[in-house]
Amino acid sequence: MGNPLKENRMSLKVRKSVKADLEHKRPLFLILGLVLSLSLTYLSLEWSFAERSLLNFESCNLDLFDEEDWVIPITSVRKPILSSSNLQLKTQPDIIKVVTNASAMPSLNAALFGSFDEEGFEEIIDPFPSDMPTFHFTAVESKPIFKGCDKLVREEDRFDCFQEKLLGFVAQNFHVNDQMMMFSSGEKVFIEFVIEKDGSVKNATIIRGEDQFIRAEAMRLVKSLPEFTPAKINGKPVRMSYMLPINVKLQ
């Protein structure tokens, strides 16, 4: 008689299917794994990401902007709206006071201030008549000089100083009052003025802008500008017009 245990093992080996044996497929699985890993590695290396570039504010140059594009922003945060009980208009009747002065008035220099016609009426002589030519900002050889920029030698440096000083003056002296905070929505106004031959600011005019409160403050601001060293052509002072845009934002 044979050994029954040995015969049982032989019967098990015969019953085992060749298709169920995965040992002979091990090289195939290895190759598939290598191909998959190499594919993922290649995709990760070739994958491109969009680069975000930062704005370089140092490269900005005010000389690249036109006069009309150079805008001075005025930003202010809104305050709580006042109640109507706090808004009371204070009116006072006009008071006319008659002063009697027997002292003689000092004589004025007619050559500077005017002359008298045959009827005794004074004829005022305008030191800057309207028929005098007015040059545009871009047409003059020497730009106006803001107070404090006269020590600079180069024309480009004086122009940069002019823009910087003017921007600072507007930013510091533009007043946002309570009425503007309550009734205005903010806008960009363009105001044109003339720098006379003596450096004074005259003929301020709102070119664009609808808000009455912003218009009034812009006019007040321009009229409070200090005297400039006037623009020059061929070394002689000339009248020059300038357009000043002010962008008022109320938040």
Over residues 33-39, the mean pLDDT reads 88
Residue 231: inside a domain: yes
Range(s) of the domain holding residue 200 = 64-78+132-250
User: At residue 1, does pLDDT exceed 50?
Assistant: yes
Instruction: Return the pLDDT at 2.
Output: 55
Residue 215: inside a domain: yes
CA distance 36 to 31: 9
- Position with higher pLDDT, 70 vs 223: 223
Q: Tens of pLDDT along 69-115? A: 445 555 555 544 433 334 343 434 444 444 444 444 444 444 444 44
Over residues 32-55, the mean pLDDT reads 74
Q: Tens of pLDDT along 111-124? A: 444 444 445 444 44
Instruction: Return the pLDDT at 197.
Output: 92
Would residue 12 be called left, alpha or beta, if left means φ above 0 and alpha means ψ between -120 and 50 degrees? alpha
- What 8-state DSSP symbol labels residue 118? T
Residue with token string 């040992």 = 23
Residue 16: inside a domain: no
User: At residue 145, does pLDDT exceed 80?
Assistant: yes
Q: What is the percent of the chain where pLDDT is above 90? A: 17
- What 8-state DSSP symbol labels residue 9? H
HSE-CB at 3 with a 13 A cutoff on CA atoms is 4
Q: How far is CA 220 from CA 79, 136, 144, 186, in A?
A: 23, 23, 21, 17
Report yes or no on whether pTM surpasses 0.75.
Answer: no
Residues 6+ apart with CB under 8 A from 127: 198
Residue 48: inside a domain: no
Please say whether the beta carbons of 230 and 187 come within 8 A. no
Return the minimum-mean-pLDDT range out of 77-91, 105-119, 170-184, 235-249. Answer: 77-91
CA distance 15 to 119: 144
User: At residue 245, does pLDDT exceed 60?
Assistant: yes
Instruction: Return the pLDDT at 81.
Output: 42
Instruction: Return the pLDDT at 222.
Output: 92
What are the residue ranges of helices labelled H in 49-140?
A: 110-113
Residue 1: inside a domain: no
Mean pLDDT, rounded, of the chain: 71
Q: What is the CATH number of the domain that holds 216?
A: 3.30.1150
Residue 57: inside a domain: no
CA distance 226 to 174: 14
Would residue 235 be called left, alpha or beta, if left means φ above 0 and alpha means ψ between -120 and 50 degrees? left
Residue 238: inside a domain: yes
Query: How many other CB atoms are found less than 10 A from the CB of residue 135?
Result: 15
Residue 112: inside a domain: no
Each as own residue / partner, the long-range contacts of residues 126-131 (CB below 8 Å, 24 or more positions apart, any chain) are 127/198, 128/196, 128/197, 128/202, 128/239
Domains of the chain: total: 1
Residue type, 47: W
Return the minimum-mean-pLDDT range out of 67-76, 89-98, 184-193, 211-220. Answer: 89-98
